[in-house]
Structure 1
Amino acid sequence: MSTPTTALSTTSATGPRRRMRRTGILSAAAIAGFALTLGTTTAPVQAAELVPQTESEAEQLIEDRAAEDPDALDRDSVPEGVSVEQAKKAVGKTDELTAADVEYAAAQEDLPASGVPGDFYKTPASLPDEDGALVKQADSDFYLDPVKLIKHDAKSTTFMYKTTDEAGQARAATATLLTPKGDSGDADNAVVIAPGTQGIADQCAPSRQMGMGTEYEGLSVASALASKRPVVIVDYVGLGTEGTHHFVNRVEEGRSVLDAARAVQQVDGSEIDEDTKLQLRGYSQGGHATTAALELQKEWAPELNIASASAGAVPVDLHKTVSGLSSVYTAFALYGVVGFAEQADIDTSDFLNEKGQKMVAETADKCTVEALLSTAFTDGKSLTKNGESFTDIIDEHFTDIVDRQRLGKAEVPDVPLLVNHSRLDDVISFDQGKELASTWCRAGHKVAFEDNLGPTHVGGYVAALPRIETFTTRTFAGKAPLDSCWRL
Structure 2
Amino acid sequence: MGTSRHRTLPHARRFAMLSAATITGLTLALGTVSAPAQAQSLVPQSEDEAKSMIEDRQAEDSDSLNRSNVPESVSVEDAKAAVDKSDEISTADVEYAAALEDLPDSGVPEDFYQTPDQLPEENGGVVKQTPSKFYVDPIKLIEHNAKSTTYMYKTTDEKGTARAATATLLTPEGAEGDAKDAVVISPGTQGIADKCAPSRQMAMGTEYEGISVTSALAAKRPVLVVDYVGLGTEGAHSYLNRVEEGRSVLDAAKAVQNVEGSTINEDTKLQLRGYSQGGHATTAALELADDWAPDLSLASASAGAVPTDLYKTVSGLSSMQTGLLLYGVSSFADQADVDLTEFLNQEGLDRVESASNQCTIEAVLSNAFLDTSTLTKDGSSFQDLVQEKFMDVADKQRLGDAEIPDIPVLVNHSRLDDVVPFELGKELASKWCDAGHKVAFEGNLGPTHIGGYIASLPRVELFTNRTFDGKAPVDSCWRL
TM over 0.5: yes
Matches of 1:326 and 1:290 in 2, distance apart?
A: 25
Match of 1:462 among 422, 438, 454: 454
Could you list the runs of 5+ residues in structure 2 that have no partner in the other structure?
1-9, 62-78
Matches of 2:96 and 2:209 in 1, distance apart?
A: 15
Deviations 1:174-194 (A, max 9, x none): 000000000111001000000
CA RMSD of aligned residues (A): 2.9
Q: Does 1:130 align with 2:108?
A: no
**Is the contact made by 2:165 and 2:233 (CA closer than 8 Å) also made in structure 1?**
yes
Q: Does 1:35 align with 2:21?
A: no
Match of 2:38 among 50, 60, 66: 60
Q: Secondary structure at the match of 1:151?
A: strand
Matches of 1:119 and 1:192 in 2, distance apart?
A: 25
Q: Structure 1 residues 73-82 or 328-337, which shifts more?
A: 73-82
- How far residue 337 of structure 1 moved from its aligned partner, in angstroms, is 1.3
- How far residue 376 of structure 1 moved from its aligned partner, in angstroms, is 0.9
What residue in structure 2 maps to residue 314 of structure 1?
306
Identity of aligned residues (%): 63
Deviations 1:287-317 (A, max 9, x none): 0000000000011111101000000000010
Q: Does 1:370 align with 2:359?
A: no
Q: Does 1:197 align with 2:189?
A: yes
Matches of 1:404 and 1:230 in 2, distance apart?
A: 33
What residue in structure 2 maps to residue 447 of structure 1?
439
Q: Does 1:351 align with 2:343?
A: yes
Q: How does 1:141-152 map to 2 (within 5 A)?
A: 141-152=133-144
Partner letter of residue 452 of structure 1? N
**Is the contact made by 2:25 and 2:361 (CA closer than 8 Å) also made in structure 1?**
no
Q: 1:482 to 1:235 in 2, by over 3 A?
A: same
Matches of 1:34 and 1:258 in 2, distance apart?
A: 33
**Is the contact made by 1:79 and 1:106 (CA closer than 8 Å) also made in structure 2?**
no
**Is the contact made by 1:105 and 1:370 (CA closer than 8 Å) also made in structure 2?**
no
Matches of 2:381 and 2:117 in 1, distance apart?
A: 42
**Is the contact made by 1:422 and 1:455 (CA closer than 8 Å) also made in structure 2?**
yes
**Is the contact made by 1:36 and 1:65 (CA closer than 8 Å) also made in structure 2?**
no
Deviations 1:262-307 (A, max 9, x none): 0000000000000000000000000000000000001111110100
Matches of 1:126 and 1:171 in 2, distance apart?
A: 10
What residue in structure 1 maps to residue 147 of structure 2?
155
- How far residue 114 of structure 1 moved from its aligned partner, in angstroms, is 2.4
Q: Secondary structure at the match of 1:370?
A: helix
Q: How does 1:88-107 map to 2 (within 5 A)?
A: none
**Is the contact made by 1:121 and 1:241 (CA closer than 8 Å) also made in structure 2?**
yes
Matches of 1:381 and 1:109 in 2, distance apart?
A: 39
Q: 1:58 to 1:212 in 2, by over 3 A?
A: same
What residue in structure 2 maps to residue 267 of structure 1?
259
Deviations 1:97-125 (A, max 9, x none): xx99x899989988665221100000001
Q: Does 1:386 align with 2:378?
A: yes
Q: 1:34 to 1:420 in 2, by over 3 A?
A: farther
- How far residue 65 of structure 1 moved from its aligned partner, in angstroms, is 4.7
Partner letter of residue 60 of structure 1? Q
- How far residue 374 of structure 1 moved from its aligned partner, in angstroms, is 1.4
- How far residue 60 of structure 1 moved from its aligned partner, in angstroms, is 2.0
**Is the contact made by 1:115 and 1:212 (CA closer than 8 Å) also made in structure 2?**
no
Partner letter of residue 39 of structure 2? L
Count of aligned pairs = 442
Q: Secondary structure at the match of 1:163?
A: strand
Q: Structure 1 residues 469-478 or 366-375, which shifts more?
A: 366-375
**Is the contact made by 2:152 and 2:166 (CA closer than 8 Å) also made in structure 1?**
yes
Partner letter of residue 24 of structure 2? A
Q: How does 1:51-450 map to 2 (within 5 A)?
A: 51-53=32-34, 57-65=35-43, 70=53, 73=57, 74-75=60-61, 82-83=87-88, 113-450=105-442
Q: 1:234 to 1:108 in 2, by over 3 A?
A: farther
Partner letter of residue 36 of structure 2? A
Q: Structure 1 residues 152-161 or 380-389, which shifts more?
A: 380-389
Q: 1:139 to 1:358 in 2, by over 3 A?
A: same
- How far residue 64 of structure 1 moved from its aligned partner, in angstroms, is 4.2
Partner letter of residue 455 of structure 2? A
**Is the contact made by 2:257 and 2:264 (CA closer than 8 Å) also made in structure 1?**
yes
- How far residue 399 of structure 1 moved from its aligned partner, in angstroms, is 1.4
- How far residue 80 of structure 1 moved from its aligned partner, in angstroms, is 6.2
- How far residue 372 of structure 1 moved from its aligned partner, in angstroms, is 1.0
- How far residue 38 of structure 1 moved from its aligned partner, in angstroms, is 4.6
Deviations 1:45-100 (A, max 9, x none): xx97x5223xxx2112212455999487434798966546xx9xxxxxxxxxxx99
Matches of 1:316 and 1:108 in 2, distance apart?
A: 41
User: Taking structure 1 as the reference length, what is the TM-score of the superposition?
Assistant: 0.85
What residue in structure 1 maps to residue 64 of structure 2?
none
Q: Secondary structure at the match of 2:41?
A: helix
Q: Secondary structure at the match of 1:178?
A: strand
Partner letter of residue 35 of structure 1? T
Q: Structure 1 residues 432-441 or 141-150, which shifts more?
A: 141-150
Q: Structure 1 residues 373-382 or 184-193, which shifts more?
A: 373-382
**Is the contact made by 1:137 and 1:267 (CA closer than 8 Å) also made in structure 2?**
yes
**Is the contact made by 1:81 and 1:374 (CA closer than 8 Å) also made in structure 2?**
no
**Is the contact made by 2:43 and 2:451 (CA closer than 8 Å) also made in structure 1?**
no
**Is the contact made by 2:23 and 2:43 (CA closer than 8 Å) also made in structure 1?**
no
Deviations 1:320-340 (A, max 9, x none): 111111111111111111111
Matches of 1:259 and 1:373 in 2, distance apart?
A: 33
Matches of 1:108 and 1:439 in 2, distance apart?
A: 50
- How far residue 141 of structure 1 moved from its aligned partner, in angstroms, is 0.6
